[in-house]
Amino acid sequence: MPISFFTRKSREQPAAPADAPTQATRTYDPNLTDALVLEHRELLLLLDRAKGSVQAKRFDDVKDMLDRLRNSLAAHMKRETEELHPYLTAHIKSEDRLATLKDMHAGALRTSRALEGFLKHYGGYPVTERNAATFYNEIDGVHKELKKWLEQEEGFVYTLYKSPESYG
């Protein structure tokens, strides 16, 4: 049975102290969500390329694709955490929307950790002829779950990102 990187339970994170410093609010960047969507496409493309490398039995290329995916994912998550989420938190006043945004952020972190688990596993046990079939099946599951998450993020969170005057 393939390892499920998306159904693992996350460890509980301690709550931040009430007097913890808040991040500075970012200014509005009208190109931010378009850039983030392009990063989403790059993440999915890297997964596709890794899968294609396995099909072609170019196992050394798989490692390179997974390393690039790890770096791209880290940069993407950092950008969302430093630019998107503080801006939305500062501008969204509705309690239910803010709670939903926090849930979406937590979901993004879970998805990121699951993908990182997959990458760490195959970083420690590189893809070879011996485990290629297992990798091939698992990468399909990872791709499907990541794509589902990214579509939800684009369809909801990114639609909340607007110019400051739009929040009225």
Predicted confidence at residue 2, as pLDDT, reads 56
Residue 105 belongs to a domain: yes
For residue 91, the enclosing domain spans: 32-162
In a domain, 98, yes or no: yes
The tally of domains found in the chain comes to 1
Tell me, yes or no, whether 124 lies in a domain: yes
Q: Does 26 map to a domain?
A: no
pTM of this structure: 0.82
H helix or E strand, kind and range, residue 54: helix 32-55
Predicted confidence at residue 4, as pLDDT, reads 60
Question: What's the CA angle centered on 109, arms 61 and 121, to 5 degrees?
Answer: 35
- Give the rounded distance of the alpha carbon of 102 from its chain centre: 15
- Whether 11 maps to a domain, the answer reads no
Tens digit of pLDDT at every position of the chain (168 positions): 555 665 555 555 555 444 444 445 579 999 999 999 999 999 999 999 999 999 999 999 999 999 999 999 999 999 998 999 899 988 888 888 778 888 888 888 888 888 999 999 998 899 999 999 999 999 999 999 999 999 999 999 999 999 999 987
pLDDT given at position 114: 87
Q: Which of 145, 132, 26, 36 is nearest to 87 (CA)?
A: 26
Whether 48 maps to a domain, the answer reads: yes
- The answer to whether position 62 is within a domain reads yes
Distance CA 79, CA 77 (A): 5
Q: Is 50 exposed, middle or buried (0-12, 13-18, 19+ CB in 10 A)?
A: buried
